[in-house]
Amino acid sequence: MVWVPLRTDRLAPLHASRCCLPTMSLEWLTAWSWSLDGLRDCIAAAIQSVRDCDATALATVACLLVLFVWYCYHVGREQPRAYGTVNALIQSADANGLQNGYVYCHSPECVRCTPSDGLNQKLYHNLQEYAKRYSWAGMGRIHKGIRDQGRYLSSRPSIQKPEVFFLPDLPTMPYFSREAQKHDVELLERNFQTILCEFETLYKAFSNCSLPQGWKMNSTPSGEWFTFYLVNQGLCVPRNCRKCPRTYRLLGSLRTCIGNNVFGNACISVLSPGTVIAEHYGPTNIRIRCHLGLKTPSGCELVVGGEPQCWAEGRCLLFDDSFLHTAFHEGPPEEGPRVVFMVDLWHPNVAAAERQALDFIFAPGR
């Protein structure tokens, strides 16, 4: 239907007086009228326009419309990927134990546990899926890393050899200065007493049993190495977080904490006197590991890439654990254990777009 245009000479007085609807003049209202003739002419013109169009152009438009409808249907029916539950992770850890402080679930669906011969294909599939949903922009370095992953891992010098994923063209060094992640370092150090108090409350349970609930014992050549995880391979451990609520809330205030992929961990690490951790490599170079010293007796050292460093209470020590590293406690028994709060932070040279993609590619359970 077509509305007949209103004469402008009738509109002017209306706007000038700004009168309300009930007082509108009958003359103004009757100016509007339906035009059946105008409607018939409009329909006829539309039909003629379609007849005059090129058949190829119409077919192209129709195909594009069908493809668009199919795409909307396909995206709408896609089910979200199921992720492993915390309970399943804990049960797997209890059944299979720990190696170097990490849970190895031996699942073919786990990126960390996938045999190396199928890892590159799995990573590339995840990258393609991410790019399809979002964008290829900024993915050049990740694509290069996945494409040449086998060569990178096999040809790396023995001093740095990540077990799972190597991102090329990142500045590499065994230790990082505090300035690398200044905000998070200062925040952790300001909350030193808070974390220490919650650890001391936890540690009192050791007097009642050999290994209290929530603690894990890791394999070492000598001595005892215990860890209490708040976040393990990107998954929160709820029962442990409830025992350290202030420390767990602090993690949410860190700007660069890795909390959404399998390379992210946060835990309290305890070395008893006489403990030596075997030399080993971390899984990737995209992170830097932060140790906040809680209790640091004499005779304790961290050695990364052949360079020794000592912890200090209330101070953070940053290092790249993809380098060959070890730690030991050779202090006297009366000085007690060495205790640090450990949290994984993003390498400062991993861009924001790359972080988002890596969180997707290495999401827990993907």
Count up the domains in the chain and report the number: 1
Give Cβ neighbours of residue 276 (< 8 Å, ≥ 6 apart).
220, 221, 222, 223, 326, 327, 328
- Does 86 have pLDDT greater than 80? no
The answer to whether residue 334 sits within a structural domain is yes
SS (H, E, C) 238-260: HHHHCCCHHHHHHHCCCCCECCC
The answer to whether residue 71 sits within a structural domain is no
Q: Which of 146, 149, 173 is nearest to 159 (CA)?
A: 173
Q: Which residue has the higher pLDDT, 233 or 72?
A: 233
* Reported pTM: 0.70
Alpha-carbon gap, residue 110 to 119, rounded angstroms = 10
Structural domain span for residue 106: 99-365
Q: Which residue has the tokens 């700007």?
A: 255
The answer to whether residue 251 sits within a structural domain is yes
The answer to whether residue 209 sits within a structural domain is yes
pLDDT confidence band for 22 (50 / 70 / 90): very low
> For position 162, which CATH number holds?
2.60.120.330
* Per-residue pLDDT reduced to its tens digit, 256-304: 999 999 999 999 999 999 999 999 999 999 999 999 999 999 999 999 9
Count other Cβ atoms within 10 Å, centred on residue 101. 19
pLDDT confidence band for 93 (50 / 70 / 90): very low
The answer to whether residue 264 sits within a structural domain is yes
The answer to whether residue 28 sits within a structural domain is no
Per-residue pLDDT, averaged over 181-207, amounts to 94
Alpha-carbon gap, residue 316 to 323, rounded angstroms = 18
Alpha-carbon gap, residue 219 to 104, rounded angstroms = 13
pLDDT score for 53: 65
* Per-residue pLDDT reduced to its tens digit, 118-170: 677 888 999 999 999 999 999 999 999 998 877 777 777 789 999 899 999 99
The answer to whether residue 190 sits within a structural domain is yes
pLDDT score for 56: 73
Provide the H-helix boundaries in 84-206: 86-96, 116-133, 140-147, 149-155, 182-190, 192-203
Q: What φ, ψ does residue 271 adopt, rounded to 5°? A: -110, 125
Q: Which has the minimum average pLDDT: 24-28, 91-95, 172-176, 298-302? A: 91-95
The answer to whether residue 70 sits within a structural domain is no
